[in-house]
Amino acid sequence: MNLDLNDTQELLQQTVRDFLERELPFDRIRELERDGAWDQPLWKEVCRQGWLGLPFREEFGGAAGGLVDSGVLLEEFARRAAIVPALEALISGRVMQSRATAELASEWIPLILSGECVPVPALLEANDRFGDVKAQVREGRLRGEKSFVDYGQCATHHLVAARDAGELGLFLVDARTDRVECETLRNIGRTPQCSVVYSDAPVQRVSGEDGYLELVALGRSLSAVQCVGHMQQALDMTVEYAGVREQFGKRIGSFQAVRHHCANMFMRVSSARLLAFEALSGLDAGRLDPRQIAAAKAAASRAVPEVTMLAHQIHGGNGVIEENDLYFFTLRGKERSLAWGTAEECLAELAESVDARCEWL
């Protein structure tokens, strides 16, 4: 694919970046972290601007764009460490658009884009393995538990992976009822997360196993883009710091070792971005290739801790205090490297198909 953004995407990127720099100071993010909260005012503005609707059809109030456009948006959110469920709501709505009945999609997607409904996926259970689902739906009611649900305590609805008569599917659950009990968890990224117990909660069926597989593919691809955003911001901050910090009478950016570190960081970020946006481009073209998506997520998950560690090395002692904004991207990047499949999990999936025929051209 051509990695150059088109004019519309460049305008979107600059508009979102300028808006976040102006309206979202890092001190506000620190307050949200301390309170364990999410940024509801920012979320209302995201919905008001129509940014969430980029990859949705016009009949639902969307912009008829693609996932690459959403990737541009999510990378900018990651570069500002924004605490909003953009990935979670976006992929939940996309699965409804492609897999749910026309009536269900027409009912719920406009509510998602307006911000009235905030759905988040609830897929993993205590064993932390994708596809190993024990939650059960019987006679339209869900019983079971889910772990590591991002923004689960903030959401209005959960899109839950469960089995109905043995068949794996996705089911929409109202998270505000007394049949849904959320327990707040603490995670590396300091973003809202919880475990959930469903006690005969009423559900609406959204899709079968095909929707589940698409949801994982979307989450894995877009979380790779989030990793790229965290890495890119860490790199930009490091290059800026190396240009002003002096040691031995010289700016440290003039030292060969520091330049080598910055060059290595740049290569890791660039290669991870290529794979991540290739995966999104493939999904836009209707190619759901689990191998391509696993490769993108494995590359991003491996690169982000390496890039942020080099950033801390160049910053020195200044980089290990939380008054320095670098910590946002180190912690968020590590958390995103684990979400939706670690490097090891994604490489294991690739290894299963290593002898499969590959079409290079």
Report percent pLDDT > 70 for the chain: 98
Render the burial of 97-111: b for 16+ CB within 10 Å, e for the rest: bebbeeebbeebbbb
Contact by Cβ (8 Å): 77, 86: yes
Strands 250-251 and 246-247, by their bridges, are: antiparallel
The domain boundary, picked from 54, 81, 114, lies at 114
- Alpha-carbon distance values, 101 to 61, 170, 186, 192 (Å): 17, 13, 36, 31
13 and 103 in one domain?
yes
330 and 245 in one domain?
yes
Lowest mean pLDDT among 154-158, 200-204, 348-352: 348-352
Taking the C-alpha atoms of 196, 112, 21 and 194 in order, what is their torsion angle to the nearest 10 degrees?
A: 0
Residue 1: inside a domain, yes or no? no
Q: Considering the chain, what is the average pLDDT of its residues? A: 96
pTM, 2 dp: 0.96
Is the predicted pLDDT of residue 117 greater than 80, yes or no?
Answer: yes
Residue 2: inside a domain, yes or no? no
Residue 359: inside a domain, yes or no? no
Q: What is the mean pLDDT of residues 210-229?
A: 98
Residue 31: inside a domain, yes or no? yes
230 and 189 in one domain?
no
Tell which residue, 183, 201, 205, has the closest CA to residue 192.
183
Q: How many angstroms separate the CA atoms of 9 and 58, rounded?
A: 18
Residue 164: inside a domain, yes or no? yes
Q: What confidence category does residue 356 fall into, taking pLDDT thresholds of 50, 70 and 90?
A: confident
Residues 13-24 pLDDT 10s: 999 999 999 999
Cα torsion angle, 58, 85, 345, 165, sign: negative
Residue 346: inside a domain, yes or no? yes
Q: What confidence category does residue 332 fall into, taking pLDDT thresholds of 50, 70 and 90?
A: very high
Residue 357: inside a domain, yes or no? no
Q: How many angstroms separate the CA atoms of 86 and 54, rounded?
A: 12
CATH number of the domain encompassing residue 166 = 2.40.110.10
What pLDDT, on a 0 to 100 scale, did the predictor assign at position 19?
98
95 and 49 in one domain?
yes
Is the predicted pLDDT of residue 360 greater than 60, yes or no?
Answer: no
CATH number of the domain encompassing residue 221 = 1.20.140.10
The domain boundary, picked from 172, 207, 242, lies at 207
- The Cβ-side half-sphere exposure at 105, using a 13 Å CA radius, reads 18
Q: What confidence category does residue 361 fall into, taking pLDDT thresholds of 50, 70 and 90?
A: very low
Beta strands in the chain (DSSP E): 119-122, 136-138, 141-150, 157-164, 167-174, 180-184, 193-207, 246-247, 250-251
How many domains are contained in the chain? Answer: 3
Residues 24-69 pLDDT 10s: 999 999 999 999 999 999 999 999 999 999 999 999 999 999 999 9
Residues 279-325 pLDDT 10s: 999 999 999 999 999 999 999 999 999 999 999 999 998 898 999 99
Is the predicted pLDDT of residue 359 greater than 90, yes or no?
Answer: no
What pLDDT, on a 0 to 100 scale, did the predictor assign at position 1?
56
The domain boundary, picked from 207, 237, 265, lies at 207
The domain of 148 spans 119-207
Residues 65-104 pLDDT 10s: 999 999 999 999 999 999 999 999 999 999 999 999 999 9
Strands 136-138 and 250-251, by their bridges, are: unpaired
Tell me the Cα Rg of the chain: 20
